[in-house]
Every structure is written in C-alpha cells, then in structure tokens.
Amino acid sequence: MSGSSPIVLMEGFDHLSAAQMSTKNWVETHSGGMNAFGVTTGLLGTGQCLRLGSGGNNGTATFRKTTTFTGISSFSVGFRYRFNGTIIGLAALNSPEILQLLTTVSSGRVASIQLQSDGFFRILNAAGSIVATGTNLYVNNTVVHLELTGTVATSGVTLTLYVNGTQEAQATNVNTGSSNVVNIMFNASHVSASGAGTDDFDDVYVSSSATHLGDLKVEVLNLNAEGTNTAWPANTGTKVAAIDQTTSYDSDTDFISSSTPGDRQTFTASALSIAAGPVYAVQTNIVARKDDAGTRQVADTVRQGSTNYDGNASIGLSASYIVYSQIHDQDPTGTDWTVTTINGNEYGVSEVV
C-alpha cells in the first residue's frame, strides 16, 4: 500500500520552534501588515501547527521549502487547514491560493486550491484560472482536511479536491502544464486593517501518485528509552534527556556525539496512536553538526528485529545544526509498514565518516 503511493514530502511542524524552521529548509515571506509566521497548538489538539498571519492585518505571506523534491508528474497533496477571521470572518480573505503546486523552488503553478471570501473552495489550473468550485461553504475558524489529486499534462487532466475525505469539486480536461511538481507553497492573503486573521496548516503530505489517500495524520513519535545500540555518549545526564527535543532543539546544551565511523545509537519510540490501519511512510529526522575539520557524515538507523539498517548518508555535515530527514515508504525489508512493525522498531543514528 505505501509502496504504491510513495511519499516525497511530509511535515507535522511538531518538533521545531518557528525560529528553527529554516534548519529543515522551510522559508517564509510576509508583506504589508502581515506579521511573521509562528507555530501554535496542532489542529487535532496536540503538537504544533504552522500559523501564517499571526497577529497581522492586511497583507500576504508565503511558506515553502528552499529545496525541491524529485519532480513528480502525478500527485496527491493533503493538509489540515483552518482560517480564523478574528474580526470580520471570511470577509478578511483576499482570495488566497492557500496551496500552490510549484514547478520550481519558488514559482510556476501546476494547480492550486483557493479559498475566497464567499466561503467556497476552488481549483485553479496552471494558468491560474478557476476550473471548479466546491458546493459546501467553509465555516470560519473550523478545521478541515484538504486533498488535491491530479496529474501533469497540457490537456485531459482530472483535478479532484476532497474536503474531510469527501469529494468536494472536480474538473476534467484541465491543462496543468508540462513541468513536473517539485515543491509546494502555502499562502495567506488578507484585506484591510480591519480584517485581521490567521491561517493554520498541519499534517502535510505530498505523494507521487494521484491516488486519493484521504484524511491522514502526520504523527511524531518521540524517542523514549535507550535501545540495543549504545555507542554515542551524552555530554551530560542521560542519553534520552539529551535527545528529548520535543518542540525545539537546544543547540549544545545537551547532546549525544560520536567520533568513530561505524558507531550507532538507537532508541525505542513512543507508540502510534492507532492500533491498526495503513501507514504510508516513516520519516526520520536527525539534528546534527560537526565540531572539527574534515568530512563528517551521519545516517539514520532503523533496527528491525535483530538487524540494523542504515539509511542514505547525509551530505557533509556543517558546523551549524541542520535537520537531515529521510522518508522511508516501506520498512527496511521492503515490506509495507504496519503499526506493529513501527512500534517494535528502534530508531537512531550512525556515524558514516
């Protein structure tokens, strides 16, 4: 199941402060009266979500990756969303394309989702023209799950918008251009100084298949106990305390480290909140830097059963902390993920060079 719907991007915004988003290659712009982005309580009541327009009035804001993923010609893009027009409700909206599928790192539209002040979601094509309009009104300050599926072609494309897992709008024979999707961008746009509002985004995924995946959750599993591999010492206190960076990381206050290639450190993790069901991908995140000259690389390690599986080596480490992420669509044996497998594995890091 996961192998047929490969995930190329996933984000829950749970483990970084707003100031640290750039270490995971996220970047924001804002103009007019719009304030800089922030984070707030997650849209399902736990963790964190992204907030654009925090405390702002009229103006625009964008949020995207500074890096691209390998271009995809089929897509399913899902996320959780809430707009809160704190003074004049939906009238604060300036017809933002709340999601754009990009052909370059920062521009070029394949398709997009728009929410206008009349409360209806719309699908836009590559030229920015409306090709379909939803039938159900969005209610101010409510949380919805949105998903857009389709393909890239100059004609004959079907674009489908789902709201909370149900088809809301569909357009056929659409032109989405000839360039593959390589990035996504979230947007907020508000009118007039009296139209203060906030746009919240959470549980983001991008699949390279046009298969409808539905209302999914990106869940963070925090490491909670030392595992089988124990080669990385902590600079102070316990190893679990040193890597317990639930909503942000604390730089060099506490950490684990290694100076020996081949050293591994793994931990057990908290269990998934579901007992069964499809799991489309697992993403590991390593916050790392080097403190000396020469090339240093790390890899994520997944220990399944009695075998350690190391992922792809990172690029050469910088002297500054950067988040190195790797998405695994299947478990290390090439089998689709199950809840039981995920809960039974250990996760960690190995020094490559």
- Write the CB contacts of 190 (distance below 8 Å, at least 6 apart in sequence): 34, 53, 56, 57, 58, 59, 60, 92, 93, 94, 196, 197
List helix spans (H) across the chain.
239-242, 339-344
Residue 59 in any domain: the answer is: yes
Residue 107 in any domain: the answer is: yes
Residue 232 in any domain: the answer is: yes
Q: Examine the domain organization and report whether 202 and 314 are in the same domain.
A: no
Rounded Cα gap, residues 66 and 69, in angstroms: 10
Residue 1, pLDDT above cutoff 60 = no
Q: Examine the domain organization and report whether 29 and 158 are in the same domain.
A: yes
Residue 158 burial (CB < 10 Å; 0-12/13-18/19+)? middle
Domain that holds residue 290: 223-351
Residue 214 in any domain: the answer is: no
Residue 193, pLDDT above cutoff 80 = no
Count other C-beta atoms under 10 Å from residue 125's C-beta: 21
What is the total count of domains within the chain?
2
Q: Examine the domain organization and report whether 35 and 147 are in the same domain.
A: yes
Type of residue numbered 71: G
pLDDT of residue 182: 98
Final residue belonging to a domain, choices 207, 236, 265: 207
Q: Examine the domain organization and report whether 185 and 281 are in the same domain.
A: no
pLDDT of residue 201: 98
Q: Examine the domain organization and report whether 24 and 102 are in the same domain.
A: yes
Residue 292 in any domain: the answer is: yes
Rounded Cα gap, residues 285 and 26, in angstroms: 14
What is the percent of the chain with per-residue pLDDT over 70, rounded to a whole number?
97
pLDDT of residue 22: 94
Residue 1 in any domain: the answer is: no
**DSSP string of 127-155, one letter each residue:** TS-EEEE-SSPPPTT--EEEEEEEE--SS
Q: Examine the domain organization and report whether 169 and 274 are in the same domain.
A: no
Q: Examine the domain organization and report whether 68 and 162 are in the same domain.
A: yes
Residue 2 in any domain: the answer is: no
Higher pLDDT, 151 or 54: 151
Q: Examine the domain organization and report whether 51 and 193 are in the same domain.
A: yes
Instruction: State pLDDT tens for residues 135-185.
Output: 999 999 999 999 999 999 999 999 999 999 999 999 999 999 999 999 999
Q: What is the CATH number of the domain that holds 59?
A: 2.60.120.200
Residue 34, pLDDT above cutoff 90 = no
3-state secondary structure of 21: helix
Q: Examine the domain organization and report whether 134 and 166 are in the same domain.
A: yes
pLDDT averaged over every residue in the chain: 94
The token pair at 167 is 């088809």
User: How large is the average pLDDT for residues 223-236?
Assistant: 97
Instruction: State pLDDT tens for residues 250-277.
Output: 889 999 999 999 999 999 999 999 999 8
Rounded Cα gap, residues 98 and 184, in angstroms: 10
Final residue belonging to a domain, choices 207, 239, 254: 207
Q: Examine the domain organization and report whether 129 and 96 are in the same domain.
A: yes
Residue 128 in any domain: the answer is: yes
Rounded Cα gap, residues 259 and 28, in angstroms: 35
Instruction: State pLDDT tens for residues 82-107.
Output: 999 877 889 889 999 999 999 999 99
